[in-house]
Structure 1
Amino acid sequence: MSNSRDKILAAVKQNQPPASQLPDLAPFISGAPASLEAFRKVAEGMGSHLLEVTDEAEIPALLHEHYPDMEQVITTDPLLHARAATFDWLTGDGRQLQQADLAIVRAQLGVAENGALWLTEKELQVRVLPFIAQHLAVVLDINTIVPTMHHAYEKIGGPQTGFGVFIAGPSKTADIEQSLVLGAHGAKSLTIIIKK
Structure 2
Amino acid sequence: MTSKQLILDKIRKNNIVPKSDLPEYTNFGLTFENKFEEFSRVLNTVGGDAIDTTKDKLDEVISSLYPDEKVIVSNIEESKLGNFIANDESDPHNLRDVDLAIVKGEFAVAENGAVWLKNSDNRHRSLYFIAQNIIIVVKKSDILNNMHEAYEKISFEDKGYGVFVSGPSKTADIEQSLVIGAHGPKSGYVIFID
Asked if these proteins are the same fold (TM beyond 0.5), I'd say yes
The Cα offsets for residues 137-180 of structure 1, whole Å up to 9 and x where unpaired, read as 01111100010000011122333241111101111112223332
Is the CA contact (8 Å cut-off) linking 1:120 and 1:161 kept in structure 2? Answer: no
Q: Secondary structure at the match of 2:189?
A: strand
Task: Report % sequence identity.
Answer: 35
Question: Which residue is 1:111 aligned to?
Answer: 109
Question: Which residue is 2:62 aligned to?
Answer: 63
Q: Considering only aligned residues, what root-mean-square deviation do their CA atoms show, in Å?
A: 2.7
Alpha-carbon distance in structure 1 between the residues aligned to 2:10 and 2:101: 50
Alpha-carbon distance in structure 1 between the residues aligned to 2:48 and 2:10: 50
1:159/1:84 CA distance change after superposition, 3 Å: farther
Is the CA contact (8 Å cut-off) linking 1:111 and 1:147 kept in structure 2? Answer: yes
1:12/1:147 CA distance change after superposition, 3 Å: farther
Is the CA contact (8 Å cut-off) linking 2:120 and 2:160 kept in structure 1? Answer: no
Q: Which has the higher helix share?
A: 1
In structure 1, give the amino acid aligned to 2:156: G
Gaps of 5+ in 1: none
TM-score relative to the length of structure 2 = 0.83
In structure 2, give the amino acid aligned to 1:41: R
Aligned length: 188
Alpha-carbon distance in structure 1 between the residues aligned to 2:25 and 2:94: 43
Question: Which residue is 2:124 aligned to?
Answer: 126
In structure 2, give the amino acid aligned to 1:50: A
TM-score relative to the length of structure 1 = 0.82
1:47/1:124 CA distance change after superposition, 3 Å: farther
Cα deviation, residue 40, structure 1: 1.2
Gaps of 5+ in 2: none
Q: Secondary structure at the match of 1:154?
A: helix
Is the CA contact (8 Å cut-off) linking 1:49 and 1:190 kept in structure 2? Answer: yes
Cα deviation, residue 23, structure 1: 5.2
Q: Secondary structure at the match of 2:156?
A: coil
**Which aligned segments of 4 or more residues in structure 1 are displaced greater than 4 angstroms?**
10-17, 23-28
Q: Does the alignment pair 1:82 with 2:87?
A: no
Is the CA contact (8 Å cut-off) linking 2:170 and 2:183 kept in structure 1? Answer: yes
Alpha-carbon distance in structure 2 between the residues aligned to 1:82 and 1:48: 21
1:26/1:123 CA distance change after superposition, 3 Å: farther
Is the CA contact (8 Å cut-off) linking 1:34 and 1:147 kept in structure 2? Answer: no
1:13/1:185 CA distance change after superposition, 3 Å: farther
Q: Secondary structure at the match of 2:96?
A: helix
Question: Which residue is 2:30 aligned to?
Answer: 30
Cα deviation, residue 101, structure 1: 0.6
Is the CA contact (8 Å cut-off) linking 1:29 and 1:150 kept in structure 2? Answer: yes
The Cα offsets for residues 118-146 of structure 1, whole Å up to 9 and x where unpaired, read as 11132643211111111000111110001
Given candidates 184, 192, 195, the residue that maps to 2:193 is: 195
Q: Spell out the pairing of 1:48-59 with structure 2 (5 A cutoff).
A: 48-54=48-54, 56-59=55-58
1:180/1:21 CA distance change after superposition, 3 Å: same
